[in-house]
Amino acid sequence: MGHTEDTRRAALEVTLAEFNALRSEMVARVSAQTASIGISVTAFGAFFSFGDDTATTFIPIAAMSMSLLSVSNWYWILFLGMYIRRDIWPRLQELGEQTDSPGWERFAAGHALKPKFVLLGTFFEFAAPATFFVFAILSIFRSPPSGAWMWVTDIICIIATLAAPAWIALTFHFEARNEPPLPAEHEGPSHTAARVPSPT
């Protein structure tokens, strides 16, 4: 491997520390995303129930802002996960000399592009922006914009509410399709001995 034992252990500890730090950041972003969605839905519901028409006119802008906030957390969660999968995981495999370890990353890499997982992931991530989108549409019906510029602003905000998550989803989907495979699993002697040679 080109590492002395002490160097290998030190590199392994540093890589594990980086892995744990990034995983903690991902968990924190998931928590922040969940909290912001809950607060937003509650606030929008309160606006519709108790707010006047003036307050309702700001819902499209607020919906776009909350959608972008949710998408921002989603982006960094996906980006950090991609870095772990592409960089940290191979390093851990090399430093730990466990290339045959199945692990979560190998499992996820084998399932991430299957249609049902792509559809489920897209559905769940679009649930919040779609909810904000519906609130924005309903706000226009309840309190139509008073002028042309307000109409233009509201339409742009409504489009951006769904366009941003759509762009992120497509970007990472194509990135995942072009992602190099994880190192091949190591086959021990027992696997090799059990193989039947193919006829020539």
Convert the pLDDT of each residue in 166-176 to its tens digit.
888 777 766 66
What total of structural domains would you count in the chain? Answer: 1
Other CB atoms within a 10 A radius of the CB of residue 170 amount to 11
At a CB cut-off of 8 Å and minimum separation 6, what does 75 contact?
168
Q: Residue 77 in contact with residue 34, Cβ under 8 Å?
A: no
Render pLDDT for 124-163 as a digit per residue (tens, 0 to 9).
Answer: 777 888 888 988 898 888 888 888 888 898 899 999 998 8
Q: Residue 179 in contact with residue 95, Cβ under 8 Å?
A: no
Spatial distance between the Cα atoms of 75 and 90, rounded to a whole number of angstroms: 22
Give the residue from 130, 123, 154 showing the smallest Cα distance to 67: 130
Residue 135 structure tokens: 């609130």
At a CB cut-off of 8 Å and minimum separation 6, what does 8 contact?
1, 95
> H or E segment at 55?
helix 53-56
pLDDT (average), residues 3-25: 85
pLDDT band of residue 186 (cuts 50, 70, 90) is very low
Render pLDDT for 58-84 as a digit per residue (tens, 0 to 9).
Answer: 888 889 988 888 888 888 888 888 888
Max Cα distance, the chain (Å): 81
* pLDDT of amino acid 28: 93
Other CB atoms within a 10 A radius of the CB of residue 157 amount to 21
Spatial distance between the Cα atoms of 137 and 158, rounded to a whole number of angstroms: 7
* pLDDT of amino acid 25: 92
Q: Residue 133 in contact with residue 139, Cβ under 8 Å?
A: no
Q: Does 50 or 29 have the greater pLDDT score?
A: 29
- Is 199 part of any domain? no
Q: Is the pLDDT of residue 185 over 80?
A: no
Residue 74 structure tokens: 């989603």
pLDDT (average), residues 43-70: 83
Structural domain span for residue 11: 5-179
Q: Mean pLDDT across the chain, nearest whole number? A: 76
At residue 145, φ and ψ (nearest 5 deg) are -55, 145
- Is 104 part of any domain? yes
* pLDDT of amino acid 193: 34
Give the residue from 163, 170, 145 showing the smallest Cα distance to 54: 145
- Is 198 part of any domain? no
- Is 186 part of any domain? no
Calculate what percentage of the chain has a pLDDT beyond 90: 6
Spatial distance between the Cα atoms of 107 and 110, rounded to a whole number of angstroms: 5
Q: Is the pTM of this model over 0.85?
A: no
